[in-house]
Chains A and B, each alone.
Chain A
Amino acid sequence: MQSIISLPVRLQRLNPRRLVSLMGWILCGIAFLLVAIPLLDILYVIIKDGLAAFSVDLFTQVTNGISGGLLNAITGTLVLTAGALIIGTPIGVAAGVYLSEFGHGGFSKIVRFLGDVLTGVPSIVLGYFSYVTMVVTLGWQFSVLAGTITLAMMIVPYIARFTELSLLQVRHELREAGYALGTSEIRVVARIVFPIAWPGVLTGILLSMAISVGETAPLIYTAGWSNYLWNGHLIREPIGYLTYVIWSFINQPFESAHALAFAAAFLVIVAVLLINTGARLLLKRPRNF
């Protein structure tokens, strides 16, 4: 930046090395613009067309495919996300605790590695797996449970790794002090380690929440779609969600359906960006340990 600010001065005394260096910085700046401009354009387009489609009906009416609101999709996304966190958080946090506190052996190494691999499995593969097993073989059909379990499979490794990393940052002496006083393992984790490490854990959970809100591919063949509000059944009852509206309604021959697609995209992107920003602010907060 320094070299960019003082550009005019430097131009007067250019030599080949300076020129190459300057070019280098300019290219880096262009690279940054190449990334920033599409993001800003995505936000601009979605916000412009999304806001144009806004109305009170979006939040009070269920959709009937070509008009109405998005209440069923909004609540459906909330239910699926909450369900994924209810299943995924305990497992992820437990795995993270185990790996950080007791994970010295070969088993933990393998789990850590496979957790990394699991995050790399394409989400459509997870969706197809759930379709074959839960939807078809177990006969749950398109259901909240099949959708949430699929999402949970995606987010568990994230929560586990965030939990492990933030717990590992707690100084070892604190734990040893606890154990020296005869405190049980569970109390050391709960009373000493967690109070210090929770922001990192929460960041992992928030990021997982953002992933759940924005996913489409693993839900198409597991959660299905519904025009109505969820009636509380875990299986044999499909449910709506916002990302489906984006993907499906843009292919309809009605302007009103396109408007709903953009409104849904607006809601999804606002939710995802807010959660992401919150999570990162939390992580970057100064820590006192």
Chain B
Amino acid sequence: MKISIFRLVLLCLTSLIPVALLAILIFLTHYSWSAILFNGVHFLLGKTWSLGNLYANPVMVHGLSVPVGANYGILVFIMGTLVSSLIALLLAVPVSLGVAIFLAEGVPPGSRPVLSLIVELLAGVPSVVYGLWGFAVLIPFVAHHLAPDLAHLLGFIPFFAGPVGSGYGLLSSSLVLALMVVPVITATVSEALQGISREAKEAAYALGAMRFEVVWKAMLPMIRTSLIGAIILGLGRALGETMAVLMLSGGALNYLPNNIYSPISTMASFIASQLDSALGDPTGMAVRSLAEIALVLFLIAVIVNVIARLLTGGFGRAVHN
């Protein structure tokens, strides 16, 4: 009898995890339902986010009360989220690979813990501190040095051509996101590299391969699946980042980025910055539309994570951050 109570208590507490996830889904859907009805597919495809005229009397549309001219389209924020995350990954993946190889095979085992601590500490820096550093250091650096230099060097590619803007925007956001993603990918990759058996490595050495060739040509292909999983995991981290991007993105509204220096907005940063304005809508449609963004972001994050976990075959490796 005692046994079953013990198990029962554990079981009840354990089931809180799926219950929490389900609750998020149900409550966000329930809360944003009238916005989902009002916005339809246009929500995902529209480029214009307008709360409408909050000082005029609301009108009835399809039986729903909304401000005159209200129009909720989030394509700009979806694109901002995806493009900044993808650029962050383009920067972070090669760097993470380099760091992982450097730590796993390139340094004496004795100094490995100290050096890998640096990467692990990077994962621990709170995102608002990244934001503060970005505000104080990165933005001026990007505005005065990196962006003009990039435009000068790569200006022949339209995406890199000026105007270079203020430092707030896609480039700065992506750089900080890359810093945040690197530890995620590095942790998974170095663990996978360390998991490769001696025999496999020695077989490669026996063929006359040099140390770097062993890593590059023999070991990396072995961990391909883990690597892809790690990248998608990093994507999940970048998609949901809020505070740092909020402080660095420049908060674009109603236009898509036309070069890498353009201001952007991401879904997460937009939710955080717009609740205040949305509360001014007496019909409540604006707040419910923000909840709909949260729902979309939730679904994207869930899908990305499901894919990542399926590929990495579990969670243990990525748990470090």
Contact = CB atoms under 8 A, between A and B. Distances in A.
Contact of B125 (A42, A118, A247, A250): A42
A28 B220 CA distance: 14
B124 A31 contact: no
Interface string B115-132: 101111110111111111
A31 B210 contact: no
A2 to B, nearest CB: 8
Given A18-B210, A42-B130, A125-B24, A273 B124 contact: yes
**Residue in B96, B125, B211 with the greatest tally of chain A CB atoms within 10 Å:** B125
A99 B14 contact: yes
Contact of A95 (B17, B106, B113, B268): B17
Q: How big is the A interface, by class?
A: 35 or more
Given A31-B102, A265-B132, A133 B27 contact: yes
A209 to B, nearest CB: 11
Contact count band on B: 35 or more
Nearest to A22: B212
A191 B56 CA distance: 69
Contacts of B129: 42, 46, 214, 246, 265, 268-269
Contacts of A99: 14
Given A3-B211, A36-B118, A94-B10, A216 B95 contact: no
Contact of B10 (A97, A131, A216, A268): A97
A225 interface: no
B2 interface: yes
A38 interface: yes
Contact of B132 (A27, A38, A217, A261): A261
Contact of B213 (A17, A157, A220): A17
B200 interface: no
Contacts, number: 264
B195 interface: no
A132 B18 contact: no
Contacts of A250: 132, 135
A28 B119 CA distance: 14
A161 B315 contact: yes
Given A21-B212, A94-B14, A160-B17, A124 B242 contact: yes
A116 B98 contact: no
Interface stretch (A61-69, A105-113, A227-235): A105-113
Nearest to A95: B14
A125 B106 contact: no
B306 to A, nearest CB: 6
Interface of A: 1-4, 17-18, 20-22, 24-25, 27-32, 34-36, 38-39, 41-42, 45-46, 49, 90-91, 94-95, 97-99, 102, 108, 110-126, 128-129, 131-133, 153, 156-158, 160-162, 165, 184-186, 210, 213-217, 220-221, 243, 246-247, 250, 261-262, 265, 268-269, 272-273, 276-277, 280, 284
The 4 closest A-B pairs by CB, nearest first: A122-B240, A31-B98, A214-B126, A120-B305
25 contacts: A1-B106, A22-B212, A25-B106, A28-B98, A28-B99, A45-B137, A102-B7, A111-B17, A115-B17, A116-B309, A116-B315, A117-B302, A118-B20, A120-B301, A124-B242, A128-B290, A129-B27, A129-B28, A153-B20, A157-B17, A161-B316, A185-B6, A247-B128, A276-B121, A280-B120
Interface of B: 2-3, 6-7, 9-11, 13-18, 20-21, 23-24, 27-28, 31, 94-99, 101-103, 106-108, 111, 113, 115, 117-122, 124-133, 135-137, 179, 182, 186, 210-213, 215-216, 233, 236-237, 239-243, 247, 268, 271-272, 275, 290-291, 294, 297-298, 301-302, 304-306, 308-309, 314-316, 319
Given A184-B2, A217-B268, 11 more contacts: A3-B106, A38-B179, A41-B133, A41-B137, A46-B132, A116-B314, A217-B243, A221-B275, A247-B131, A265-B129, A277-B117
